[in-house]
Structure 1
Amino acid sequence: MKIAVINTGGTISCVGNPLAPMTSTEFKAACQSHLDPIIRQKFPDLVLDYITDLAFPESESGMLDSTNLQPTDWCLIARYILEHYTEADGWIVLHGTDTLDFSGTALPMLLSRFDADGTVTAQLSKPVVLTGSQVPLFHSPQPGKISGVSFHTDAFENVCGAIAVARVGIPAVSVFFDNQWMRSSRVIKANTSQFRAFASPNFPNLGQYGITLTLSPEYMPPGPVSEAVSLDNSDTRAATLAQLDAIFAAINTRPVVQLNAFPASYNPETGTAVLADMIRAVTAQGIGGLVLESYGAGNFPSGNANTPERGAIYQALKDANDAGIVIVDNTHVQQGAVDYNAYAAGAWLPTIGALNPVDMTPSASLAKLTVLLAAQEANGWWLEDVKFLMQTPLVGEMADLARLDSRTSATLLPGQSLSTFNGSAMLVNDPELGPLLKNSKGMVLWSMLSDAEISALPGQLRISDTGNLAFYNRNNQQLWSSDTNGGDGIAAQLRLRQTGSEVCLSLYDLANQTALWSIRKAVS
């Protein structure tokens, strides 16, 4: 097996006082002398290929402290992987910790393609593992000389762990740090002074490396549904590279800005507010997106505590939305999700067009929206398509409120539900009545079971790997079926989406990109 190692810079490859990154050539030589002999003790047949022909133009050394990383640098890393995809079985990206959580979402977005409805049309078939460290990997007693691996460094353990998980071959971008294997689009930097620098507060770890590497199969991301969408396919890879070129050309033209809520002065009488002034200042710069870091469950000051729509902040955000700026309302709280039904202080945000990212982190929202806006023109998406994709899980970055997937979440248990992101409709597995499609007012639009079919409930709604959707009662008797069996190994999704004045519930064949079964109901 051959694993390519891309060193972007950061603490892990720094030496000296003050710390500064080694060049890629210097780092390669140090690794071959001091690290590879230890790695071969565990993996004698493993080949580590240290990349030396990737450089970041804003840095004289070619290596980059991630503090100075720009969105174009995400594209450089992704392009190198795509252009050299056939030359390695997996990739390790050594990255500074300051912005690793942004890159953790940007890279899987750039190494994929999607239709306007969120269907994957290109996907990784090999592992990409991000890691870094809090302490440098090598000790340099004098300039230009490496004496060995540093004392008490987490860098060595993180590199070993990244190699171990890359060998497993899970086709996704992930992060390995302090024995924890995490989904890259879910991580946040949580500590500056301990080795456990990163956490995944809203999604379980993929595994852990103690004495041995243990995996959590139920949380592993699924691979490509077919060879046609795999990056192993040369045509699919070429199309993804073409998209990446378009993104690179556009990624700085519609930047995305983060703005956090904080106690600041406002005056309802004069219609003024500090936050409103800040919003208008950044929107005047030609931005394409605004990521709010709100309080609690998504609460953001409106500028008027009694009547939000009269507030200066409300109006500034409304004007931004009317101007085509995409607004995403994240919570700055590390764990939990946005819920507009929790407080009146947040319930007004959907009225000005703010999108609900559920449990996505602010850094993931910024990276995802940056890539989507840059890809919009090349993919022929409308602005509404970008907004829909922002609220649809694409690379594991957020909880999926509107879909079941036969590969990862195939069952709707009693009391569970699917919901459109705007709350217009819900499919709920009622413990007494079975699956019901309801509108936002609770009116039943469609019932899966007739009165005569209701027996021995509650039950479960399941998607099988043959592409069939069926409802079973508590005695495992089938009460309803879509009758869409198409053979073994079908990857299917049950999707709930509002389009215009209708809500559509459909069972979708991912490999063939066709609907197997669907119903449409007017939302009234």
Structure 2
Amino acid sequence: MLIYTGGTFGMVYDEDGSLAPFNFSLVIEKIPELQSLDLKLTVISFPDPVDSSNVDIEHWQAMAYIIKDHYEQYDAFVILHGTDTMAYTASALSFMFRGINKPIILTGAQIPIGATRSDARENLITALEIASTKNGKVPMLNEIAVYFNYYLLKGNRSQKIRSSNFAAFESENFPYLAESGVKIVFNESFMNTHDPQQKLEFYPKMDPNVVVLKIFPGITEEVVKSILNIKGLKGVVIESYGSGNIMSWRWMEELLRDAVSRGIFLYNVSQCMGGSVVQGRYETSKMLSDIGVISGHDITTEAALAKLMHLLGTERNVDIIKQKLNVSIRGELTVV
């Protein structure tokens, strides 16, 4: 099943030379090479395709329900998605499902399909080829992934790091799952294995009451206080320096300690694309452990937000939420 949600991919030039969406059910006419893949392809589209900058929890849930409702009918799913929030969606979907035994691949394009130099064709054709690849009688891929510019990335490890380059996505803290060249080479040792005993579990609830607090030189007490006192706030992703450090100012410590005492989950991730949070390596991060800030290890900000939304939406036990934040539940982090 090919699911078109919107984004740059499905644009063509109209008579005035402007970019406009086209009827995506006619995708095979735009990409005749798809016929050579020998696939039985069902193409569906969101009734109102959405720019990925407008993607919200409801859109994640809509994609998830399409997959859940058709899971037994199809061998694989490819989702066409705008690039700006693709990593967020891949992370969110990875937490909404447990026990995936089929390929679910997100892909898109930096240049519309209607443009001469578009990367849309290669991304879609290879994503479909990977989705249909078997390892014996079972799928080669058994998880949610992002395919872009010759590389297959683990979905909840991916990040968009470039806006003006075909190589838009990277996975700094996790190896590529596959590389497309003359042949598609799979990195099987880092891919989820097929488990026929595992049944698909579905967790559509996501709690939006989370926020990102990015630490920067000169951040003021008023700014931090206003964020930590947002009405209804339940979780904060703290984007700290390096391996998990923040300033050791007294007012910062007091505000964070107060937030923890009010039951707000503080989740520490690094601003760096590569590397891991190691709380306690420096004195400035030891304070965070003492307060009760939870280390996100090498998780991405995108995955950290999705994980908080998922756990706050599905779990009621505070201790279980803390425990699951600190470990990998969908392959989203590595505990150092």
Q: TM-score, normalised by structure 2?
A: 0.92
Q: Aligned pair 1:151/2:140, yes or no?
A: no
| 8 Å CA contact 2:172, 2:273 repeated in 1 | yes
C-alpha deviation, 1:301, in angstroms: 2.2
Q: Which residue of 2 aligns with 1:340?
A: 279
Larger RCO of the pair (alpha carbons < 8 Å, separation 6+): 2
Q: Could you tell me whether the CA contact under 8 Å between 2:244 and 2:279 is conserved in 1? A: yes
Q: Partner residue of 2:168?
A: 197
Q: 2:328 aligns with which of 377, 380, 393?
A: 393
CA contact (8 A) 1:21 1:64 kept: no
Q: Distance in 2 between matches of 1:329 and 1:20?
A: 41
Say yes or no: does 1:287 pair with 2:225.
no
Distance, in Å, in 2 between the alignment partners of 1:106 and 1:276 is 26
1:459-484 CA-partner distances (Å, limit 9, x unpaired): xxxxxxxxxxxxxxxxxxxxxxxxxx
State the 1:341 CA deviation: 2.9
> Does the CA-based 8 Å contact 2:110-2:166 persist in structure 1?
yes
Residue among 10, 22, 35 paired with 2:7: 10
Q: Are 2:218 and 1:277 aligned?
A: no
The answer for the alignment partner of 2:258 in structure 1 is 319
- Partner of 1:362 in structure 2? 301
Tell me by how many angstroms 1:276 deviates. Answer: 2.9
Aligned counterparts of 1:130 and 1:257: Cα–Cα separation in 2: 25
SS at match of 1:314: helix
Q: CA deviation at 1:277?
A: 2.7
- The match for 1:428 is none
2:233 aligned counterpart, secondary structure = coil
- In the TM superposition, residue 265 of structure 1 has moved relative to its aligned partner by 5.3
**1:161 aligned residue:** 126
Aligned to 1:131: 107
Show the 5 A alignment for 1:48-127: 48-52=41-45, 54-55=46-47, 62-112=48-98, 123-127=99-103
Q: Does 1:40 align with 2:35?
A: yes
Larger radius of gyration: 1
Aligned with residue 206 of structure 1, among 174, 177, 202: 177
Is this contact kept in 1: 2:28–2:35, CA < 8 A?
no
Q: Distance in 1 between matches of 2:150 and 2:267?
A: 33
TM-score normalised to the size of structure 1? Answer: 0.60
Task: Please give the alpha-carbon distance, in whole angstroms, between the structure 2 residues aligned to 1:372 and 1:289.
Answer: 10
Structure 1 contact 7–93 (Cα < 8 Å) conserved: yes
Per the alignment, do residues 383 and 134 of structure 1 end up closer, same or farther by CA in structure 2, a change over 3 Å counting?
same
Quick one: which amino acid aligns to residue 42 of structure 2? Answer: D
- Compute the displacement of 1:222 (Å): 2.5
Mapped to 2, the partners of 1:296 and 1:275 lie a distance apart of: 21
Please tell me whether the aligned partners of residues 280 and 289 of structure 2 are also in contact (alpha carbons under 8 angstroms).
no
Amino acid at match of 2:76: G
Name structure 1 gaps, 5 residues minimum: 56-61, 113-122, 140-149, 232-236, 267-272, 305-310, 402-524
Is 1:185 matched with 2:156?
Answer: yes
Letter in 1 for 2:106: L
Deviation of 1:72 after TM superposition, in Å, equals 2.1
Deviation for aligned residue 1:103? 1.1
**Alignment partner of 1:47: what SS?**
coil
Distance 1:287 1:342, change over 3 A: same
Give yes or no for contact 1:276–1:312 (8 Å, CA) kept in 2: no
- The answer on whether the counterparts of 1:289 and 1:326 sit within 8 Å (CA) in structure 2 is yes
How far does the alpha carbon of each residue in 1:392-443 deviate from its partner, in whole angstroms, 9 at most, with x for none? 2111111145xxxxxxxxxxxxxxxxxxxxxxxxxxxxxxxxxxxxxxxxxx
Q: Aligned residue pairs: how many?
A: 327
Deviation at 1:279, TM superposition (A): 3.1
Choose between structure 1 and 2: higher helix proportion.
2
Seen in structure 2, the aligned counterparts of structure 1 residues 68 and 289 have a Cα distance that, compared at 3 Å, is: same
Shift of 1:223: 2.9
Q: In 2 relative to 1, CA 212–200 (structure 1 residues): closer, same or farther, beyond 3 Å?
A: same
Q: For residues 264 and 273 of structure 2, what CA distance do their matches in structure 1 show? A: 25
Question: What is the aligned partner in structure 2 of residue 300 from structure 1?
Answer: 246
| Residue of structure 2 in register with 1:144 after alignment | none
8 A contact 1:258–1:293 mirrored in 2: yes
Is residue 186–residue 200 contact of structure 1 (8 Å, CA) maintained in 2? Answer: yes
1:398 partner SS = coil
Q: Which amino acid aligns with 2:320?
A: D
CA 1:175–1:265 in structure 2 vs 1: closer, same or farther (change >3 Å)?
Answer: closer
The structural deviation recorded for 1:316 is: 1.2
